[in-house]
């Protein structure tokens, strides 16, 4: 290693030690930076701040968490890389993004894995979460304190309404850079088209794409229903959002501080479960009012088309047992 690189690594390590209060002469309070990628008024930033308040109360101020919203500390991938090198201590981030560092984190994003909100909540409260989280921390050195909900994803289209898998064929559907979503829509016969989120409205309006998909709150926040004719309640995926902490930071905490932090996370998760469902349903009502027609596709053939993903993903990530447990709940 070159001398300059050595200095940089040592500097980051010392900075992390000072931040979490484990070095000699460290701060009395352990001060942690917490990153969110959404604005202050977003549910996830509000829940992150609630978590910080609970941790402060449960540790009598010995652990102080400062939440930085709206990607102030960097985009999703930058933040996770920062957690790995010690420049950021905590964050919320999607399982999809985390799967770039630990593929196992993507298991909850498999298409049609969850039947409904109750099934989702049951799975996220079960021991399968612990199995996944153990694999994630071993691969990424990032610990998941719990998974938050945001909403089942639905489909907006212009070219035609979607009722069956035949209706999906050839539709140019805007997707994020998410491997699981892209493979899902390829198997359904659509033509995935990756376009930046900020360009979706114009892409729909001008016919660059025939449709887009996302959670109801995200769609409603951007008013995409204004440039769409049809809404299909596919509910094809539910992207979960992890409450994350860098593993070296977690290990630096006392056992009582760890217990307080996990307890705070568990309480916030329950609040999130209640609010996420209500927010999603309210947003969905507004989207319904903005389109010409709403369909509820029969997902039987859709589920059959994507089922090969389960076996492939299970084999690659060692999560087949987790997938089977969720499906059999």
Average per-residue pLDDT in the chain?
A: 91
Please tell me the distance from the alpha carbon of residue 168 to that of residue 90, in angstroms, as a whole number. Answer: 40
**289: which 2 tokens?**
């009012």
Q: Residue 96 has what pLDDT?
A: 87
Residue found by looking up tokens 């030690």 in the block: 17
DSSP 8-state assignment for residue 91 = E
The confidence score (pLDDT) of residue 41 equals 87
Note the pLDDT of residue 28: 62
Closest CA to 45 of 315, 268, 292, 326: 268
Q: What is the pTM of this model?
A: 0.85
pLDDT tens profile 34-57: 999 888 988 999 999 999 999 999
Q: Please report the pLDDT score of residue 197 as a whole number.
A: 86
From CA 174, how far away is CA 95, in angstroms rounded?
A: 20
Q: How far apart are CA 45 and CA 39, in angstroms?
A: 7
Q: What is the pLDDT at residue 26?
A: 41
* 320 three-state secondary structure: helix
Length of the chain: 329
* Calpha distance 227→97 (Å, rounded): 28
Dihedral sign (CA 312, 315, 319, 322): positive
Question: What per-residue confidence (pLDDT) applies to 6?
Answer: 37
Q: Is 65 left (phi over 0), alpha (psi -120 to 50) or beta?
A: beta
Beta bridge mates, 230: 157, 293
pLDDT in tens, 276-286: 999 999 999 99
Q: Per DSSP, what are the bridge partners of residue 206?
A: none
Under-70 pLDDT residues of the chain: 1-28
| Paired sense of beta strands 211-214 and 30-35, if any | unpaired
| CA–CA gap between residue 11 and residue 184 (Å, rounded) | 43
**Buried/exposed 251-272: b ≥16 CB within 10 Å, e otherwise:** ebbeeebbebbbebbeebbebb
Q: How far apart are CA 219 and CA 228, in angstroms?
A: 11
Report the interhelical angle of 128-140 vs 320-327 (nearest 10°): 150
Task: Decide if 154 contacts 217 (C-beta within 8 A).
Answer: no
The predicted-structure confidence for 166-222, as pLDDT tens digits, reads as follows 999 999 999 987 889 999 999 999 999 999 888 999 999 999 999 999 999 989 989
């Amino acid at each position: 290693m070159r001398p300059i690189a050595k200095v940089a690594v040592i500097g980051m390590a010392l900075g992390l030690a000072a931040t979490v209060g484990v070095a000699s002469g460290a701060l009395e309070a352990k001060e942690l930076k917490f990153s969110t990628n959404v604005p202050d008024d977003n549910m996830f930033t509000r829940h992150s701040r609630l978590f910080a308040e609970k941790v402060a109360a449960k540790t009598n101020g010995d652990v102080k968490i400062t939440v930085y919203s709206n990607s102030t500390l960097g985009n999703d991938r930058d933040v996770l890389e920062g957690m790995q090198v010690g420049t950021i201590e905590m964050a919320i981030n999607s399982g999809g993004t985390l799967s770039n560092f630990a593929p196992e984190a993507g298991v909850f994003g498999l298409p049609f894995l969850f039947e409904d909100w109750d099934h989702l909540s049951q799975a996220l409260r079960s021991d399968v979460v612990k199995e996944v989280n153990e694999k994630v921390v071993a691969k990424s050195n990032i610990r998941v304190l719990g998974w938050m909900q945001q909403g089942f994803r639905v489909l907006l289209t212009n070219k035609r309404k979607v009722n069956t898998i035949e209706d999906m064929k050839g539709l140019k559907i805007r997707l994020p850079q998410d491997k699981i979503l892209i493979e899902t829509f390829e198997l359904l016969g659509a033509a995935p088209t990756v376009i930046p989120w900020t360009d979706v409205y114009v892409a729909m309006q001008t016919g660059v794409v025939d449709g887009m998909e996302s959670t109801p709150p995200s769609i409603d926040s951007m008013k995409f229903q204004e440039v769409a004719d049809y809404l299909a309640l596919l509910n094809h995926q539910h992207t979960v959002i992890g409450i994350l902490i860098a593993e070296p930071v977690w290990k630096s905490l006392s056992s009582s501080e760890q217990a307080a932090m996990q307890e705070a996370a568990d309480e916030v998760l329950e609040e999130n479960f209640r609010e996420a469902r209500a927010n999603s349903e309210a947003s969905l009502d507004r989207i319904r009012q903005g389109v010409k027609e709403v369909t509820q596709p029969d997902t039987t053939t859709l589920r059959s088309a994507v089922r090969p993903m389960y076996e492939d993903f299970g084999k690659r990530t060692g999560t087949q047992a987790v997938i089977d447990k969720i499906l059999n709940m």
